[in-house]
Amino acid sequence: MNKADHIDRDTENRIVELFIGKLGYTYLGNWEELENCSNIEERHLSHYLSRQGYNAIQISKALFELKQVSNSFSDDLYQKNKKVYTLLRNGLSLKEDAITSPAIIKLIDWNNWSNNDFGIAREVSIRGNKHKRPDLVLYVNGIALAVLELKKGLEDINEGIRQCVSMQQGHFVESFFSTIQLIMAGNDQQGLRYGTIKTEEKSYLRWNEELHVDEASDQFEIDRHIKNLCSKERLLDLVYGGMVFDSSKKKIAAPQHYFALKAAKKQIQQQEGGIISHNQGNKSGMMVLLAKWILENNDNARVIILTDNPELDKQLEALFNENGEYIKRTANSKKLLQQLQQPSAKLLCSLVQKLGKKSDDNAQDIVDELEAHPIPAGLKLFLFVDDCHRSQSGKLNLTLKMMLHQAVFIGFTSIPLLKKDKKITLEIFGNYLHTDKIAQREDEALKKLVFST
């Protein structure tokens, strides 16, 4: 073993020990010589499902369906990963026989992270028409969720990222990544970068987070990044609530996006809104993730998204549909309020300029329509307003706030608020929930947000 290899092995040993000693993962072993390594380790998954009270027939059917979707020859990696992700997130609906009702088999307990089995294996051999061996693979209940490629300290981190990209090529190796949600590369000198399946090299992200007291003594930045990104609760939270599928690209939230979502959820739980101000990044992705969370946690919720861009309106419809949330576009205020009478109308979007008969009379039109079609009792309304800073829509926003005083307003903006708009915008939407660097110079806020693509 030469010196460089020794340094590399020392790093890997230290990282494995971090996962075991600090994060509480179980060491599954060195699988370099194993012949049948899989992204779905049946023995471990069967053990977990049995511990959850599922019977042998349910477990057998769940394993069969999950592996069938994961190894499909008819789908590309994006489609396989999307289908597997849906099964992991929502569970499998299975019938034991023709008589019994379907049961939902939950492969991961997203609500109670401590009820899952977290494991780490090293040098996992993936054999097929190509042979690949990720340095470290993280398993949850026997399902591979994350891959970590480590490089020597003097070797550029981009070499590790390129290895992560190349590992996803070739059918048998590609199928291994059908369950993978988080892909990481790092070294002792440059820390850690991460993405998800099919993320381009240039789009791998760095996890930025304020230092905790116990992290100040970390000698290597990669150790701190791993503790922040791969703690059991954080890993499951990010996978469950931070993934967006968008036109054959899977996207994972950057840390600033993740923390903006956390802030918004906390505020919404207190029945209050606020403003998310990001100069770049995917506002549409943020809307999808936040709306999805609202609808999953409130049976009486209705989410209304208002934009002033026809192209964005169409893009939102396509994006929500691709992520399993079917949105209804409405042509005017009358149609919008009529849709709110329908039990199935959970998610609606409309152009601001089409809410009224005339562009300068929108506010009064909304008042008239609300009087003609009052909001049904018991509904909880959440209004997402894109470009909430725009002064020309201030009157409409204020009218909506007055008429829908029990609704929660979330404003999205990509520029700092101008002094003349700031007062009324804050009155309507509330304080900032999260801001980026441009807004920080104006309003002493936090950091920017991007999505990995």
Q: Any idea what the CATH number is for the domain that residue 368 is in?
A: 3.40.50.300
Specify the pLDDT at position 405: 66
Nearest to 137 by CA among 119, 151, 153: 119
Of 47-56, 93-102, 209-218, the range with the lowest mean pLDDT is 209-218
Examine the domain organization and report whether 190 and 253 are in the same domain.
Answer: no
Higher pLDDT, 330 or 98: 330
Shared domain check, 276 and 215: no
pLDDT at 420 > cutoff 60? no
- Lowest-pLDDT range of 55-59, 251-255, 289-293, 428-432: 428-432
Neighbours of 33 (CB within 10 A): 8
Tell me the per-residue pLDDT of 13-42, one tens digit each, with 9 for 90 and over: 999 999 999 999 999 999 988 888 899 999
Torsion-angle region of residue 206: left (phi > 0), alpha (psi -120 to 50) or beta?
beta
| One domain, residues 296 and 257 | yes
- Across the range 112-124, mean pLDDT stands at 96
Is residue 393 pLDDT above 70, yes or no?
no
Rounded Cα gap, residues 232 and 240, in angstroms: 12
Query: Are 114 and 263 found together in one domain?
Result: no
Same domain membership, residue 224 and residue 321 = no
- Three-class SS state of 276: strand
Work out the end-to-end distance of the chain between its first and last CA atoms, rounded to an integer number of angstroms. Answer: 38
Stated as kind and residue range, the H or E segment containing 277 is strand 274-277
Look up residue 157 and give its two tokens.
Answer: 């981190």
Q: Tell which of 182, 212, 241 closes a domain.
A: 241
Query: Confidence class of residue 375 from pLDDT cuts 50, 70 and 90?
Result: confident
Residue 418 and residue 435 in one domain? yes
CA–CA gap between residue 363 and residue 107 (Å, rounded): 49
Q: Assess whether pLDDT exceeds 70 at residue 235.
A: yes
Q: Is 245 within 8 Å of 324 (Cβ atoms)?
A: no
Regarding whether 328 and 400 lie in a shared domain, the answer is yes
| Domain, as residue range, for 341 | 245-452
DSSP string, 371-439: HHSPPPTT-EEEEEEETTT-GGGHHHHHHHHHHTTTSEEEEEESSPPPHHHHHHHHHHH-SEEEE-HHH
Tell me the average pLDDT across 324-328.
90
Same domain, 158 and 278: no
**411 and 425 in contact (C-beta within 8 Å)?**
yes
DSSP state of 123: S
Which of 206, 241, 276 delimits the end of a domain?
241
List the Cα angle 307/313/314 in 5-degree steps. 175
Domain count, the chain: 2
**Which of 185, 219, 241 is the C-terminal boundary of a domain?**
241
Shared domain for 170 and 259, answered yes or no, is no
**Average pLDDT of every residue of the chain:** 83
What is the average per-residue pLDDT within 74-93? 96
- Evaluate if pTM is beyond 0.75: yes
Q: How does pLDDT run across 259-286, given as a tens digit for each residue?
A: 989 999 999 999 888 888 766 557 889 9
Cβ contact 309:386 at 8 Å: yes
Same domain, 184 and 263: no
The first and second tokens of residue 16, run together, are 């494995």
pLDDT, mean of residues 76-95: 95
Is the domain of 73 the same as that of 177? yes
| Together in a domain, 392 and 410 | yes
